[in-house]
Amino acid sequence: MEEITLNKNQYSLAEEDYIKAIYHLSQQNQEALTNDIAERLETKPASVSDMLKKLADKKVVNYVKYKGVTLTEEGVKIALELVRKHRLWEVFLVEKLNFTWDEVHEVAEQLEHINSPLLIERLDEFLGFPKFDPHGDPIPDAKGEFLVKPHVPLGEMEIGQVGRVVAVQDISALFLQYLNKVGIYIGAKVSITDKIEYDGSLEVLLDDKKTILVSKEVAKNIFVGI
């Protein structure tokens, strides 16, 4: 009897979420660490170790025990496809279904796992081939390529420098609702009018209209194109 192994290139929802987490963590550092993956996926380090072994067997990650993990070429391909789907769905929810930018992430976290190449191709077309999602993050095209808008954290701008908000790093509902409240949005015109030395907070002129005070923590999570 001949052994035939069909590589259906199909991954479970759990595997997909791990791949995506490793992708995002690898953007920040060189490789993803077990504890960081566990925290991101709200699971336990022991579960992560289990899964990393499985993903290594499937050749989507390079895994050396105790040394962290990176995605293989195949793993990056899967991750970019997931990111593409996630962000396209976020655009759909905001542009077509009138969701606010703080409501979309959790639903997109589910929708990204729907498996239908035709669906994504048509969705992309329906949305007019958007290049950025509601949080300012770039949307990979079908080949995995995406635009990069140069930007700096709000906190690193000089006094007097003018720019526009291009993205946010923290996409939690709590943070986005805070931004809604103070009037910060993607595209808003910002300039630093003063830096408070005592606590590192910033005085920001918003859309030439009003001045607001933002904390160091907040400033770290807002990216500005100059």
What residues line the site for a copy of itself (CB under 8 A)?
93, 96-99, 103, 106-107, 110-111, 114-116, 118-119, 122-123, 126
Owner of token pair 């380090």: 45
State the Cα–Cα distance between residues 49 and 65, nearest whole angstrom: 9
Q: Which stretch binds Mn ion (CB under 5 A): 30-38, 56-64, 136-144, 183-191?
A: 136-144
Minimum CB separation of residue 146 from Mn ion in Å reads 13
If the CB atoms of residues 65 and 96 are measured against a copy of itself, the closer one turns out to be: 96
Interface residue with DNA among 9, 29, 53, 187 (CB under 7 A) is: 53
If the CB atoms of residues 63 and 92 are measured against DNA, the closer one turns out to be: 63
* 51 near DNA (CB under 7 A): yes
The size of the interface with Mn ion (CB under 5 A), counted in residues, is 6
State the Cα–Cα distance between residues 155 and 214, nearest whole angstrom: 9
Q: Of these partners, DNA, a copy of itself, Mn ion, none, which one is at the site of residue 116 (CB under 5 to 8 Å by kind)?
A: a copy of itself
Q: Of these partners, Mn ion, a copy of itself, DNA, none, which one is at the site of residue 136 (CB under 5 to 8 Å by kind)?
A: none
Q: What x-and-dash track marks residues 108-127 binding Mn ion by CB under 5 A?
A: -x------------------
State the Cα–Cα distance between residues 129 and 165, nearest whole angstrom: 22
Q: Of these partners, a copy of itself, Mn ion, DNA, none, which one is at the site of residue 47 (CB under 5 to 8 Å by kind)?
A: DNA
Q: Are 100 and 94 in contact (CB under 8 A)?
A: yes
For the stretch 179-184, contacts whose Cβ atoms lie closer than 8 Å and that sit 24 or more positions apart, written own/partner, are: 179/222, 180/100, 180/102, 182/206, 182/212, 182/214, 183/207, 183/210, 183/212, 184/212, 184/222
